[in-house]
């Protein structure tokens, strides 16, 4: 069974300014089970009225969907892999799981390729992206993850990419790495307590947690976490990495480990 990851993808500047989080990303590739067939990413940066799937082309493009950054970041590229036949299988499988997904030829946004470029300088596996449907809310995205869970048995690594805190109005660009505002720490402490307790009701409604609306004025960066949580199933998600940047951005990562495949029973 393949792993599930949730990665807080941070800022595009991470591509030219390595930090503890990018170092963590570089250590992830060996954790992918050998029988992996594909990667399915749910990024904060694609919202659609209904589920959409991208990547079913031979060479998916990337987009530089950010503004006001140094020119060097707009010259960044990433060698993504696609697969039309595998994309059809993935879409048909999702439809069979009750997810009425449509194919869309869309370049991967930086929520996909920013961390993936650190993990895999050139993608060794076909990569696909599934959209969020922000208007559906937290419980819907948890249920979406639960519907995706069987893909893990079929060799699909599921990755949620967002931000476990995301208030750009309160970031402090010159704060030392690892330093965090007290309100952001209080939010993360409450979230991880709910995660450890298996309190999915609280996790589905982050604005009920201390400083929830301050940590997430909008929810698009949080919802990929709920998709990953649903896909983790009974394993749940465990902390894999903790770091703070710019005072208020928690770059924490969470995961459910890959499990050995169970051999088929012999007659």
- pLDDT of residue 82 exceeding 50, the answer is yes
Classify burial at 181, counting beta carbons within 10 Å of its beta carbon; exposed 0-12, middle 13-18, buried 19 or more.
buried
pLDDT above 90 (res 266)? no
Q: What are phi and psi of 208, to 5 degrees?
A: -85, -10
* Confidence bin at 263 (pLDDT 50/70/90): very low
pLDDT for 33: 87
Q: Dihedral through CA 90, CA 94, CA 97, CA 99, nearest 10?
A: 180
Structure confidence at residue 258 (pLDDT): 85
Query: Please, are residues 130 and 101 in contact by the beta-carbon 8 Å criterion?
Result: yes
> What residue ranges define each of the domains in the chain, with the CATH number in brackets?
4-256 (3.40.830.10)
Per-residue pLDDT reduced to its tens digit, 200-224: 999 999 999 999 999 999 999 999 9
Q: Which residue has the tokens 């989080």?
A: 21
pLDDT tens, 151-166?
Answer: 999 999 999 999 999 9
| Residue 265: predicted pLDDT | 30
**Average of per-residue pLDDT values in the chain:** 94
Confidence of residue 264 (pLDDT cuts 50, 70, 90): very low
The stretch 29-48 carries a mean pLDDT of 95
Q: What share of the chain is helix, strand, coil (3-state, %, to 5)?
A: 40, 20, 40
Is the Cβ–Cβ distance between 79 and 127 less than 8 Å?
no
pLDDT of 53: 97
Task: Give the torsion sign (CA, 88, 94, 98, 103).
Answer: negative
């Amino acid at each position: 069974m393949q792993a599930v990851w949730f990665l807080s993808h941070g800022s595009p500047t991470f591509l030219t300014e390595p930090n503890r989080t990018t170092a963590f990303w570089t250590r992830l590739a060996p954790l992918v089970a050998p029988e992996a067939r594909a990667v399915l990413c749910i990024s904060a940066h694609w919202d659609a009225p209904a589920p959409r799937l991208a990547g079913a082309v031979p060479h998916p493009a990337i987009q530089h969907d950010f503004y006001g950054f140094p020119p060097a970041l707009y010259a960044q590229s990433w060698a993504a892999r696609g697969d039309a036949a595998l994309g059809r299988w993935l879409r048909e499988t999702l439809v069979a799981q009750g997810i009425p997904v449509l194919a869309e030829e869309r370049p991967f946004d930086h929520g996909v390729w920013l961390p993936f470029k650190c993990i895999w300088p050139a993608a060794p596996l076909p990569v696909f992206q599934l959209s969020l449907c922000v208007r559906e809310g937290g419980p819907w995205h948890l249920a979406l993850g639960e519907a995706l869970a069987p893909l893990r048995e079929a060799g699909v690594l599921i990755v949620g990419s967002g931000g476990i805190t995301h208030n750009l109005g309160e970031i402090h660009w010159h704060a030392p790495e690892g330093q965090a505002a007290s309100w952001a720490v209080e939010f993360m402490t409450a979230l991880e307590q709910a995660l450890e307790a298996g309190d999915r009701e609280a996790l589905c409604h982050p604005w009920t947690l201390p400083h929830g609306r301050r940590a997430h004025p909008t929810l698009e960066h949080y919802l990929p976490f709920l998709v990953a949580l649903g896909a983790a199933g009974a394993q749940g998600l465990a902390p894999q990495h903790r770091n703070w940047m710019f005072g208020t951005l928690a770059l924490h990562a969470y995961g459910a480990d890959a499990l050995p495949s169970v051999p088929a029973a012999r007659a």
